[in-house]
């Protein structure tokens, strides 16, 4: 079974886009969208402390300046 980090990495590797919807010190929820950055396909909620900390610094898989509003 893949870790949450591996799931997000695989999503991005196949062209999908992910965006952090909410994060605090203990949990993060991520929207996983189609490769065109459009429709949300699923959400991932993680309590992995290392991944939560990383996600608070990296809010999207999109390159800086290209994230949709």
Q: What does the domain layout of the chain look like in residue ranges?
A: 4-57
For residue 40, give the 3-state DSSP assignment.
strand
**Is residue 55 pLDDT above 70, yes or no?**
yes
Across the chain, mean pLDDT equals: 91
pLDDT at 61 > cutoff 80 = yes
Report the length, in residues, of the chain: 69
The residue whose two tokens read 């952090």 is 20
% of the chain at pLDDT higher than 90: 80
For residue 26, pLDDT beyond 60: yes
Q: What is the pLDDT of residue 37?
A: 65
């Amino acid at each position: 079974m893949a870790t949450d980090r591996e799931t997000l990495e695989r999503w991005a590797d196949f062209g999908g886009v992910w965006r952090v919807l909410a994060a605090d010190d203990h949990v993060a929820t991520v929207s996983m969208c189609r490769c065109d950055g459009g429709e949300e396909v699923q959400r991932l909620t993680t309590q992995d402390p290392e991944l939560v900390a990383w996600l608070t610094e990296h809010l999207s898989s999109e390159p800086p300046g290209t994230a949709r509003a």
